DNA sequence: GAACTGTACTATTTAAATTAGTACACTTAT
DNA sequence: ATAAGTGTACTAATTTAAATAGTACAGTTC
């Protein structure tokens, strides 16, 4: 389901968060779909359950998943994102755009990438 | 010139790298423009010179600045970016686009942001 | 009731970041 | 030439964050 990179300087719980977030926003994990249990994923990745717990807790605080004690953790339905998330994404988008222009990448190339992922 | 956030979990040298990179790619620091000396910036930010040295060394390895012993460090001319940097940026761009779509942001809104930064 | 689930702790260990201190060769300007 | 400033290269110590280890409790599922 996920793969970790121990050479990466990013903390493990961060890599797990990013991986799960990516699966959720791309639809690889649909709304209300069940995630592996804290203990199952810890066992699968050969790391401590507390590390998974931390990743899940933060993903829940950010609105990407929800957890029910005794039942499990599930992918959230879209629209639960905290206010300011759009603005944060736009800010990061502008930074990337600035560097792409610095590297002489044209608007046409960039817009092509935007449209290549368009649904329908 | 830069401001640090000690509440941020990101390391200081990383915040410095990001801040300088942003200034360079946006043109706030023009080609061959001189950066503050390692010791001057360390004093200004009230941190250890080794931390600045690390940030500068990595920025040089990534092609954003160049350093001349005895003279100083300077913003690099564009085009020195390592191969694969474009692809890395496009990958990050796709991740942001996926999440923006998850939040029901339309292509039109995204493309508007792309074009708003177009030079000329 | 057995086996699972999320959650909440404390304590310990491990790894990374940061600081501290010193040193050397080079450049610049007095 | 001499003083001050520059990048760079080390080692050592300290501080901070991440990750592990262990235990426990209340809920659920069958």
Q: What are the pLDDT tens digits along chain A (120 aa)?
A: 899 998 888 999 999 999 999 999 999 999 999 999 999 999 999 999 999 999 999 999 999 999 999 999 999 998 677 788 999 999 999 999 999 999 999 999 999 999 997 877
CA of B97: how far to CAs of A51, B38, B62, B77, in Å?
28, 37, 25, 29
Q: Is residue A104 exposed (0-12), middle (13-18) or buried (19+ Cβ within 10 Å)?
A: exposed
| pLDDT of the residue at B19 | 97
Q: Report residue A59 as tokens.
A: 């993903």
Cβ–Cβ < 8 Å for A92, B96: yes
Whether residue A101 and residue B24 make contact (CB cut-off 8 A), yes or no, is: no
Please list the alpha-helical segments (H only) found in A1-120: 12-26, 38-45, 49-61, 85-102, 107-116
Residue A118 is predicted with a pLDDT of 81
CA of B12 and C1' of C21: distance in angstroms? 21
Give domain B12-75's CATH architecture. Orthogonal Bundle (1.10)
Would you state the pLDDT for residue A78?
Answer: 83
User: Is the Cβ pair A103, B93 closer than 8 Å?
Assistant: no
Q: Which residues of A touch B100 (CB under 8 A)?
A: 86, 89, 93
The pLDDT of residue B79 = 67
Residues of B whose CB is below 8 A from A26: 98, 102
Number of alpha carbons in the 13 Å side-chain half-sphere of residue A106 = 3
Query: Is A25's CB within 8 Å of B98's CB?
Result: yes
Across the interface, whether the CB atoms of B103 and A118 are under 8 A apart is answered no
Please tell me the predicted confidence (pLDDT) of residue A101: 95
Domain boundaries, chain B: 12-75, 85-116
Can you tell me the distance from the alpha carbon of B41 to that of B23, in angstroms, rounded to the nearest whole number? 15
The string of DSSP letters for B3-70 reads: ---TTSSS-HHHHHHHHHHHHHHHTSS-TTPBPPPHHHHHHHHTS-HHHHHHHHHHHHHTTSEEEETT
**Strand C–CB A70 distance below 7 A:** yes
Per-residue pLDDT tens digits for B31-64:
999 999 999 999 999 999 999 999 999 999 999 9
What is the pTM for the complete model shown? Answer: 0.91
All residue ranges of chain B with pLDDT < 70 are: 79-80
Q: Give the minimum alpha-carbon distance from A77 to chain B in angstroms, rounded to a whole number.
A: 10
SS3 B108: helix
Note the strand D nucleotides within 7 A of protein beta carbons: 5-11, 17-23, 26-29
d(CA B20, CA B9): 18
Chain B residues inside the 8 Å CB shell of A107? 114-115, 118
């Amino acid at each position: 389901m996920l793969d970790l990179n121990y050479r990466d300087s990013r903390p493990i719980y961060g890599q797990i968060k990013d991986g799960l977030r990516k699966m959720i926003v791309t639809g690889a994990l649909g709304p209300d779909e069940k995630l592996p249990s804290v203990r199952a994923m810890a066992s699968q990745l050969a790391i401590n359950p507390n590390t998974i717990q931390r990743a899940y807790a933060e993903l829940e605080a950010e609105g990407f998943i929800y957890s029910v004690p005794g039942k499990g953790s599930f992918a959230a339905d879209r629209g639960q994102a905290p206010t300011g998330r759009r603005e944060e994404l736009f800010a990061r988008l502008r930074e990337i755009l600035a560097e792409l222009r610095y590297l002489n990448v044209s608007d046409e190339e960039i817009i092509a990438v935007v449209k290549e992922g368009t649904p329908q």
